[in-house]
């Protein structure tokens, strides 16, 4: 009787589990002990993909091309004797698709600021596989540590506007695991908000009172001029 087969082990020997379209990957499946020949079958979501017979204790190699979204997902292999109706299943490997990121958008709740004010900037790429890493710049100078976002949400930094030099152009950079894929945002500038003088409200109030006095005198003038004119007749 053949020796009982242990559960085989499915291993990725070429490529990565995070794949791009048209990428080739190679898997190996092996039960480390048993009595050859052994039949190895590769499954994707319980659907047979390929099968190989091995007459020795060497692994079975399966090469795949990830050409569409249907090639993604969970893979397992099965080891069995040709004369057996049973078999043992391996661990699973799951392929996920890497997508390039879109150009990030840099924004702020306010575009006007004054010296001594706290402001915030947020950076977000709407598309692209996670995680996404963001970095913020003012001019060409990095002004923040890397922010690695595991969810589809904006990276946010907080700034203190201390001087006129803080009103330069800000940008952010986004990147993910997709090869050679780094995108920069639009430039964002804060504009200086005019600071009103403390005396301005008082000046405005005095101006309104003076205007009302002038209008009042203008309306009252006929009542003084007409009686005087009649008295002189």
Mean pLDDT value of segment 13-36: 92
Instruction: Please enumerate in sequence order all residues whose Cβ is within 8 A of that of 154, keeping only pairs 6 or more positions apart, or say none.
Output: 122, 123, 124
pLDDT value for 83: 61
pLDDT value for 27: 98
Summarize pLDDT for 103-146 with one digit per residue, the tens.
999 999 999 998 889 999 999 999 999 999 999 999 999 999 99
Find the radius of gyration of the CA atoms of the chain. Answer: 38
Average of per-residue pLDDT values in the chain:
88
Summarize pLDDT for 25-63 with one digit per residue, the tens.
999 999 988 888 999 999 999 899 999 999 998 999 999
Max Cα separation, the chain?
Answer: 146
Angle at Cα 146 formed by Cα 187 and Cα 158, nearest 5°? 60
Q: How far apart are CA 121 and CA 143, in angstroms?
A: 12
This prediction's pTM: 0.65
Summarize pLDDT for 212-224 with one digit per residue, the tens.
888 877 777 776 6
Helix (H) or strand (E) holding 30: strand 23-30
pLDDT at 147 over 80: yes
Mean pLDDT value of segment 17-21: 91
Q: How far apart are CA 98 and CA 93, in angstroms?
A: 16
Helix (H) or strand (E) holding 62: strand 60-66
Instruction: Please enumerate in sequence order all residues whose Cβ is within 8 A of that of 115, keeping only pairs 6 or more positions apart, or say none.
Output: 161, 162, 163, 164
Domains, the chain, in order of start with CATH, read 9-97 (2.60.40.10), 105-192 (2.60.40.10)
């Amino acid at each position: 009787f053949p020796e009982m087969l242990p559960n085989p082990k499915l291993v990725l020997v070429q490529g990565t589990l995070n794949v791009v379209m048209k990428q080739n990957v190679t898997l190996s499946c092996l039960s480390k002990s048993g009595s050859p020949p052994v039949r190895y079958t590769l499954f994707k979501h319980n659907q047979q993909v390929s099968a190989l017979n091995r007459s020795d204790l060497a692994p079975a190699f399966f090469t795949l091309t990830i050409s569409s979204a249907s090639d993604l997902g969970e893979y397992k292999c099965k080891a069995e004797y040709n004369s057996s109706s049973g078999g043992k299943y391996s661990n699973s490997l799951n392929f996920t698709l890497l997508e390039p990121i879109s150009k990030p958008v840099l924004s702020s709740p306010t575009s006007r600021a004054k010296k001594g004010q706290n402001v915030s900037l947020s950076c977000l790429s709407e598309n692209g596989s996670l995680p996404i890493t963001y970095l913020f710049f003012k001019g060409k100078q990095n002004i923040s540590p890397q922010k690695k976002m595991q969810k589809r949400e904006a990276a946010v930094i907080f700034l203190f506007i201390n001087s006129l030099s803080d009103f330069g152009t800000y940008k952010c950079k986004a990147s993910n695991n997709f090869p050679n894929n780094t995108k920069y945002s639009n430039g964002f500038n804060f504009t200086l908000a005019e600071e009103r003088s403390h005396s301005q409200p008082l000046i405005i109030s005095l101006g309104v009172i003076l205007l009302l006095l002038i209008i009042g005198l203008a309306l009252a003038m006929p009542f003084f001029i007409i009686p005087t004119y009649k008295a002189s007749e």
